Amino acid sequence: MRSAVRRLKRWLYLGHRWLGIASCVLFAIWFVSGVVMMYVAFPNLTTSERRAALPDIAWSRALLSPDQAMAVAGLSRYPRELRLTMLNDEPVYRIADWKGPRQTISAVTGRAITSITAEQALAVAGHHPAAVAPRLLGTVDRDQWSVTARFDSDRPLYLVDLGDAAGTELYVSSRRGEVVLDTTRHERIWNWLGAIPHWIYLTVLRQDAPLWRQVVIWISGICMVTAVSGIWIGLLRAGLRRRYAGGRITPYRGWMAWHHFGGLVAGIVVLTWMFSGWLSMNPFDWFAGRADRSEALQRYAGHDAPTTKVALPVRDRPGVVEVRFIWVDGSALLLLAHRDGSQSMVDPMSGASRMLSEDRLFAAAARLLPDATMTLRQRLEQADLYWYTHHQQRLLPVLRAGFDDAALSWVYLDPASGEILGWSDRSTRLRRWLFNALHSFDLPPLLAYRPAWDIVVIALSLAGLLISLSGIVIGWRRLLR
């Protein structure tokens, strides 16, 4: 038995040594890039940024009704999204069906727009508030910032430099003539030290999503083994009960001592970061995927036919850059989006402002899951553990409806517009604790105090960096020998 224990210990030490030599560089990169990501996110076009770059809707030029636009698009049911906006100086309908590609229909001529010219792309970019001297850089099929599959239906993309001091570049869809992404020089530079190394987000790898996912799962899994073996060895060698000479808790000196001590202090944090990062890739499909909710959303809308029976306003409304045609509980509504980021809801017949009562919204929500009972009706005035603004924009106040279905679903509603803002279930709430809490440290005491969160995360990252750098030095010396 003693011989077997000695043999297992030897393999434990050898395994940690060589896995550590291979993975400590990755650990160091992850800790540094994680701190960068706290302040510079991967480029993404938000809804407010997209709307800020749109001209006012020329209502008087919109000759086609929403019903006629849906007929041109060949819809057999009401679409997931129907909005009126501008393509440079031409009002167009943007239609997203439940299945199939997005469509753009001219509100002037009724023609389907399937491509735009480079000149049109420049004109679209010229409406951006940061535009100084827009210049076409060319067309991009796929690059570092547009690598994900969500841009596939818009490729190739026109890349336009706005000529501003921030070095803003816009990606304009060659199919729809809509800005789909923006980046700044600041984002492009810092992301090479942030999200790209942290997510192993190199274009050549990320363009193959299944392969990228497997690479990240296996690399983070191997790094977890390194962390577990390191914690185990650290505890075996720690003089917690019987101290070493001079009252020391470590038998090592120099970099080995720093590595041992750092592992004892922050090893568990390193392991939880590796574990939660590994879980974020949903290994073995442990977390439920996004279900098809089209039928549920149609029941909530209370309307399925591709009709609105809405007459467009004759007079222009300054500052309105987008209008969405939605249905809630069988009522047709117009959601007017303003350039300043605000939104108003009006009755399509009278043009007057309108709001649906909370009772009516909850009644409509009850039809989302007709086989389940609504067990929760809440109005959240402040953020809580599952609906909070840390790392993301979340609307408040918000209505929350809970159900007793198998997934214990929660649905979040905008009390002002009736729109469904979010949908969570038992699986997503579990992921909130296993990923957001462990990886992003979205913990209750820190959520309300952002400086405290920064200090804690940076301090733990520095401790992890100490473990990694000491491991790199030790490994390098071992390799030299």
Length of the chain: 481
Instruction: Look at residue 350 in the predicted model and tell me its pLDDT.
Output: 65
Instruction: Look at residue 351 in the predicted model and tell me its pLDDT.
Output: 64
The count of domains in the chain is: 1
Determine, yes or no, domain membership for 230.
Answer: yes
Helix axes 2-37, 254-279, angle to 10 degrees: 70
Determine, yes or no, domain membership for 294.
Answer: no
Determine, yes or no, domain membership for 279.
Answer: yes
Determine, yes or no, domain membership for 232.
Answer: yes
Instruction: Look at residue 337 in the predicted model and tell me its pLDDT.
Output: 93
Return the structure tokens found at 328.
Answer: 């809630």
Instruction: Look at residue 314 in the predicted model and tell me its pLDDT.
Output: 62
Q: CA torsion 445→446→450→455, rounded to 10°?
A: 120
In sequence order, the 6+-apart residues with CB closer than 8 A to the CB of 188 are: 43, 145, 167
| pTM across the whole model | 0.91
Boundaries of domain holding 225? 2-40+220-287+464-480
Number of Cβ atoms within 10 Å of the Cβ of 309: 11
Determine, yes or no, domain membership for 11.
Answer: yes
- Cα(268)–Cα(203) distance, integer angstroms: 32
Cα 74 to Cα 81, 115, 177, 292, 371, distances in angstroms: 14, 19, 21, 22, 32
Determine, yes or no, domain membership for 379.
Answer: no
Return the structure tokens found at 197.
Answer: 């190394």
Residues pairing with 95 in the sheet: 82, 103
The one-digit pLDDT tens for each residue of the chain (481 residues) are: 888 888 888 999 899 999 998 899 999 999 999 999 999 999 999 999 999 999 999 988 999 999 999 999 999 999 999 999 999 999 999 999 998 889 999 999 999 999 999 999 999 999 999 999 999 999 999 999 999 999 999 999 999 999 999 999 999 999 999 999 999 999 999 999 999 999 999 999 999 999 999 999 999 999 999 999 999 999 988 887 888 888 888 899 999 999 999 999 899 999 999 999 999 998 988 887 777 889 999 999 999 999 988 877 666 778 899 999 999 999 999 999 998 888 888 877 666 677 889 999 999 999 999 999 999 999 999 999 999 988 788 899 999 999 999 999 999 999 999 999 999 999 999 999 999 999 999 988 888 788 899 999 999 999 999 999 999 999 999 888 8
Determine, yes or no, domain membership for 269.
Answer: yes
- Cα(233)–Cα(222) distance, integer angstroms: 17
Determine, yes or no, domain membership for 146.
Answer: no
- Cα(176)–Cα(249) distance, integer angstroms: 65
Element holding 399 (H helix, E strand): strand 398-403
Which of 279, 285, 250 lies closest to 265, judged by CA? 250
* Torsion sign, CA atoms 238, 240, 242, 243: positive
